[in-house]
Amino acid sequence: MATRKKAVSRNVAGPFFVDSSCIDCGTCGYLAPAHFSSTDNNSFIHSQPTAEDEIFKALLALVDCPVAAIGAPKEFTSRISNDLFPIWVTENASGSVYYCGWSSKRSYGASSWLIIRPGGNVLIDSPRWSATLATQIKKLGDVKYMILTHRDDVADHERWFNAFNCERWIHVRDSDAAPNVEKRLHGIDSLSLEPGLRLIPTPGHTAGSLVVVLGDSEQVLFSGDHLWWNKDIGSLIASKNYCWWNWDEQIKSIERLNNLDVRWLLPGHGHAYRFNIGEWKIALDELIGHVSGMN
Ligand code: SF4
């Protein structure tokens, strides 16, 4: 639990603060960029929330923080309700997508997502275990699948399996991180798990990285740590510094996404982004040009 005594000095004065237990995962900055910034490997409050909607966003960050490094007086935390998460994000003809919140330290605060779809609901990567979140997810229906995009983001998958008895998927090359899963994807061919729900192996960041595509058009791409959006420079990003396995293979995996029709990019880390019509291909081509020049 965050304590005032450990609050970092960069916080502007006021009720909300970040303390030194922050692991700088970036989650609070994605959720409430008007109030949270990061420097020197520690986030801080750069502007106190005052309006109701601002306080609401700061409270979302407080609940989501994987190490409880965000604090506020009880007069604010008493407003936290059980139904803060999951948050609706978008939808297409194949399903509705929610952000789960409740990030886990075990996945360095990675985002996890919930798809509500007629053929069965899907968790993409694992939030930290929360009975409160499980109850809210249950209200939206049972979870049929849990898809783990790669070894880093498996977090509390066992506890979510115990709660929902869902069928867990991971690529076989990352499956030592979750050895008891029910299903393993092999090779680099994509798999249509169900109509409008496709898994595409994208080795590179890890040997068993995969992405998930929702929909046949106007798609939602759950990209794990394969690529994400950098809001500061306004472009699609893949990181050589954070490539744990094979950068050349990661570049090939990026190129294999050029036949998609992505409207929403929802990564494990980094900013989500909504593309306008035609913008995905332009952004992907720019990224391919950039990363090819890095070799
Ligand atoms: S969500 Fe928590 S751990 Fe992550 S950057 Fe913010 S304060 Fe730090």
Q: Could you read off the pLDDT of 80-96 as tens digits, one per residue?
A: 999 999 999 999 999 99
**Of 33, 57, 77, which residue constitutes the final position of a domain?**
77
Structure tokens at 98: 């929610």
Domain boundary among 77, 99, 129: 77
CA-proximal residue: ligand 1, atom 8 (nearest): 22
**Global confidence as pTM:** 0.96
| 273: β partners | 265
**Tokens found for residue 231:** 């809001």
Contact 172, 188 (CB under 8 A): no
Of 52, 77, 102, the last residue of a domain is 77
Distances (CA, A) of 18 to 7, 44, 46, 155, 295: 6, 5, 10, 23, 39
The answer to whether residue 40 scores a pLDDT higher than 90 is no
- 97 and 148 assigned to the same domain: yes
Residues 65 and 120 in one domain: no
CB 245 within 8 A of CB 208: no
Phi, psi of 197 (to 5 degrees): -140, 110
CATH code: domain of residue 50: 3.30.70.20
- For residues 52 and 97, membership in a common domain is answered with no
How remote is the CA of residue 28 from the centroid of ligand 1, in Å?
6
- Flag whether 267 is in a domain: yes
* 174 and 254 share one domain: yes
Query: Does the C-beta of 7 come closer than 6 Å to ligand 1?
Result: no
Task: State the residue range of the domain holding 115.
Answer: 87-292
Verify that 105 and 42 share a domain, yes or no. no
For residue 68, give the ligand 1 atom closest to its CA. Answer: 2
Cα–Cα distance between 208 and 148 in angstroms, integer?
Answer: 10
Is the same domain home to 150 and 253? Answer: yes
Establish if 82 belongs to a structural domain: no
CB 214 within 8 A of CB 220: yes
Residues 24-39: what's their mean pLDDT?
Answer: 95
**Would you state the pLDDT for residue 219?**
98
Q: Could you tell me if 184 and 248 lie in one domain? A: yes
Report the alpha-carbon distance of residue 75 to residue 173 in Å, rounded.
Answer: 48
Q: How many CB atoms lie within 10 A of CB 65?
A: 27
Is there a domain that residue 112 lies in?
yes
**How far does the centroid of ligand 1 lie from the alpha carbon of residue 279, in Å?**
31
CA dist 226 and 269 (Å) reads: 9
Number of domains in the chain: 2
pLDDT at 207: 98
189 and 73 within one domain: no
List Cβ neighbours of 150 (8 Å cut-off, separation of 6 or more). Answer: 170, 171, 174, 205, 206, 208, 209, 210, 224, 225
| Residue 295 predicted with pLDDT over 70 | no
pLDDT in tens, 239-257: 999 999 999 999 999 999 9
Numbers of helices and strands, H then E, in the chain: 7, 19
- The burial class, CB within 10 Å (0-12 / 13-18 / 19+), for 96 is middle
Regarding whether 118 and 56 lie in a shared domain, the answer is: no
**Considering only CA atoms, which of 235, 243, 231, 234 is closest in space to residue 271?**
231
Residues 123, 206, single domain; the answer is: yes
Same domain, 61 and 92: no
Q: What is the CATH number of the domain that holds 247?
A: 3.60.15.10
pLDDT tens string 158-215? 999 999 999 999 999 999 999 999 999 999 999 999 999 999 999 999 999 999 999 9
- CB of residue 59 inside a 6 A radius of ligand 1: no
- Quick check: CB of 45 below 6 Å from ligand 1? no
